[in-house]
Amino acid sequence: MNDAYPFVYKFRTNKNGYVYDVNTNNILRVTDDVYKEIDTKPWSNRQIRDAFESGIISNKRPLRIIPAVSFKKMKEVLQGDIQKIILFVADYCNLSCSYCYYSDIYERSKNLNGKFMDWDIAKEAIDFYLQHSKDDKGDEKAICFYGGEPFLNFEVIQKSVEYIRSKRGWIVVAISTNLTLLDKDILDFLIDNRIHLSVSLDGPEELHDRYRIFKNGKGSFGIVLKNLKKIYERDMEYFYNFVIFNVTAAPPIDYTKIHDFFSSSKLFSKSWYANIGKISFTGGPRFKDKYGFDRNEGEETEEKLFERFRGKIVNEGRCKDRFLLRFYYPHFWKIYNRLMVPLPSLIKERNACIPGQLRLLVAPDGDLYPCEKGISTIKIGCLDGGFDFEKCYELIREYTKIRTELCRDCWAIRFCNTCYLGAEKDGKMDKEVKKEECTYVKKHWGVMLKRFAEIMEERPDAFSESRKLIKMDRIFLL
């Protein structure tokens, strides 16, 4: 680290050179001379010296990253302000998806053990949630069902929904499913109770069935599409307002084929997407060995996908394509809507949650985990004994320590949104794992800044109205 040099990141479009100043959050269009000399010293260019002296650019780095809450405040939050609870009702799945986080492909992930949550544990988990959350209304309060495949334990889901709505009738209910087990009883239950449904669908049959297969090797695409049509034909309003899609791209990744599939079908014309992203092999090199996966996989077709998004924004002033909006808009909105305030010396950790507050997961045996992705090793308590507050705060403390070491000289510090999982190894925070993740975070935001500048060069009003076109507050339940 050399604090004498400006804390900046420079990039070029085809038309201009730019400097992003971390301290002020400014994106500055600069001359070629400034661009060449900005990150060297001594400066011969008067423009750079003037900018430095006037505070337009700066060499200041934050001193350290500090926890967002004290130990005392963390305890208060966990004792009374849990937002969502996720019941892992089925530690078993009827599919055998090759890329599944819970498969034995990954070295450090949890394998499904065949256990199902019984009603006594589910009821205890709901009571725990009600005791540790505020009795107020809002979409941020929810009970979610996860697996494996949760509909394998449909009876417990039914009882849980009936019970929690008898206690807190307004609460949002969400289920993440592969949608292969839909029958009349389940369909009636979903529609009658207005259940938010997150369905795993990876695109056209040739891509979906490469990985999302039954245990006999048969693809699941046909039955998923058949069941989606059942929902659509039964209640179109429910289909478009309560069914969202979780799309995982796995090698060979072709984003244009995936987009073509969703955008060309009338069935998905008004659909929303929970997540669209590619499989990550962080912590799982065996997946890379088996399938030849590289973290750069899919870049060529993603470039083509971006040109579709860029064309709509530049030519029409906005993008109404919900697939493209979900894929790109959260990143560009973060840049467009960035706060133009000085970077503080002490940065409060905002990316990583208080473990268990936002998406507390309860395993079939009653153990507690921060979220559905942290069920492999990061246990933070159990229903009988409650939260292990020391463990929760150890995660916070160790993560901020690693971030201080790695992030205080990183130009992407304002954009990065990685959490504990980006640094986790065997239930602990690991600097080398975090360092690997940082490489791809910086690459991603470098590309996004360049693309943002390219769009703004041609269409300065590009993002001023687009916020109204995507329901950023309701689609991230699961």
41-45, 185-189, 398-402, 456-460: segment of lowest average pLDDT: 41-45
pLDDT, tens digit, 9 for 90 and up, residues 219-247: 999 999 999 999 999 999 999 999 999 99
Q: Are 95 and 89 in contact (CB under 8 A)?
A: no
Q: Is the predicted pLDDT of residue 284 greater than 70, yes or no? A: no
pLDDT of residue 50: 87
Gap between the Cα atoms of 234 and 440, Å rounded: 43
The 10 Å Cβ neighbour count of residue 15 is 10
Specify the range with the lowest mean pLDDT, choosing from 127-131, 138-142, 345-349: 138-142
Q: List, for residues 40-50, the tens digit of each pLDDT value.
A: 877 888 888 88
Domains of the chain: 1-61 (no CATH), 81-478 (3.20.20.70)
Closest CA to 147 of 104, 179, 123, 195: 179
Reported as a single tens digit per residue, the pLDDT across 309-350 is 999 999 988 888 999 999 998 899 899 989 888 999 999 988
Distance CA 68, CA 347 (A): 8
pLDDT score for 283: 45
Confidence of residue 289 (pLDDT cuts 50, 70, 90): low
User: Which of residues 56 and 280 earns the better pLDDT score?
Assistant: 56
User: Alpha-carbon distance 210 to 458, whole Å?
Assistant: 40
| Prediction pTM value | 0.90
Report the helix count and the strand count for the chain, using DSSP H and E.
15, 17
* Average pLDDT for 186-193: 97
Q: Does the pLDDT at position 357 exceed 50?
A: yes
Quick one: which of 371, 364, 409, 412 has its CA closest to 392? 371
Q: Mean pLDDT in the chain? A: 88
First-to-last C-alpha distance (Å) of the chain: 39
pLDDT at 86 over 50: yes
110 with 376: CB under 8 angstroms?
Answer: yes
pLDDT value at position 2? 53
Pairwise pLDDT comparison (366 vs 318), residue with the higher score: 366
Tell me which of 93-107, 184-198, 276-290, 438-452 is least confident.
276-290
